[in-house]
Amino acid sequence: MSRSNTKKVVFFTPHADDIEFGSPFMCIKSLKLGYDVTEVLMTNCQYGTERKEFRGERLEKIRKREMENVAKIYKKHTKNQLKIIYAGFIDGHLPLNQKALNYVINLIKEIKPDIVFAPDPVYAIDYHFDHLNTGRLVYFALKRLNSDVMPKRIFFYYSFKSNISIRCRFKDLKIVIEALSQHKSQVSPLKSKFLYFSRKIYQINKYFKYGGFSERFRELKMVDGKPKTDQKINTIKDSMLYSIYYKLINYPYDWYFPTPEELGLQEKVKLL
């Protein structure tokens, strides 16, 4: 297969562990199929710990190393290298502005992916600011792209309004947990054991519900080669789900202190 025929897949992720939590089976499946798979990490993950002394550049280094270890695990099992692009925005402060939008537009234009994965920007089960903005930036970028660089399929993970199940291999669960366990700053060995069993039960439940092991996504529909405009949340059921998930993630906690200025953090974004 020549290089130009190789399918390209891009996963936009707000933080280092979001593939492993949001769409690990599709990442493994894409790598096993020999696709050209890129993860675009939007933030530098400087805040994701309760240990305050680690926040900042120190945590950024740790989490990047963990992510590279994840790519090694994927390579060991799939013989394919997950490419990682660090966008360089500050954790917890991913902006929804022209600079960030241009970054995503230029990246899609350059890579020309066939398939894009991103967190759901509207019907989200995770209302973390960075998650919403990663999804929004991808959505607004796609709205501005011409058809010659438009991805063929766009899937949103972390969605409560999924409309498509994609088959995955139950056996890959072991790889998922091995990958997840590399995020040592986030997932303790005990937690990864717990995740292994809870995901097993979750997958078995899905097997009976949908007739196969699968990962569920909301696929953004295309009309005349352009992404269909997302509807506002307008049904009672969706409003209730929105408010439940919104409250779940927005309970008060001091995740984002101290400020980036206090930690001396700056955006490291290089526009293409």
Binding status of residue 183 toward Zn ion by CB under 5 A: no
Is the backbone of residue 260 left (phi > 0), alpha (psi -120 to 50) or beta?
alpha
Binding segment for Zn ion (CB under 5 A), chosen from 18-26, 106-114, 169-177, 253-261, is 18-26
Shortest Å distance, C-beta 270 to Zn ion: 22
- Of the candidate spans 17-25, 108-116, 159-167, 235-243, the one that interacts with Zn ion by CB under 5 A turns out to be 17-25
Query: And the tokens for 119?
Result: 């967190």
- Type of residue found at 198: S
Evaluate the CA torsion angle 222, 223, 226, 230 in order and state its sign. Answer: negative
Identify which of residues 125 and 150 has a Cβ nearer to Zn ion in the complex: 125
Q: How far apart (Å, rounded) are the C-alpha atoms in residues 194 and 196?
A: 5
One-character DSSP codes across 64-84: HHHHHHHHHHHHHHHS-PPEE
Q: Does 15 bind Zn ion (CB under 5 A)?
A: yes
- The count of residues interacting with Zn ion (CB under 5 A) is 3
Closest-CB residue for Zn ion?
15
Binding range to Zn ion, per CB under 5 A, among 16-24, 51-59, 83-91, 190-198: 16-24
Give the nearer residue to Zn ion in terms of CB position, either 157 or 242.
157
220: which 2 tokens?
């953004």
Q: Which of residues 27-86 bind Zn ion (CB under 5 A)?
A: none
> Can you tell me which of 12, 18, 27, 44 binds Zn ion, judged by CB under 5 A?
18
Rg (CA), the chain: 18
Q: Of 9, 11, 12, 14, which lies in the binding site for Zn ion, with binding defined by CB under 5 A?
A: 14
CB nearer to Zn ion: pick between 63 and 145: 63
- Of the candidates 187, 180, 8, 168, the one whose C-alpha atom is nearest the C-alpha of residue 82 is 8
Pick the closer one to Zn ion by CB: 157 or 213: 157
- Token pair for 2: 């020549």
Compare residues 14 and 121 and give the one whose CB is closer to Zn ion.
Answer: 14
7, 31 Cβ separation under 8 angstroms: no
Residue type, 137: L
- What residues make contact with Zn ion under the rule CB under 5 A? 14-15, 18
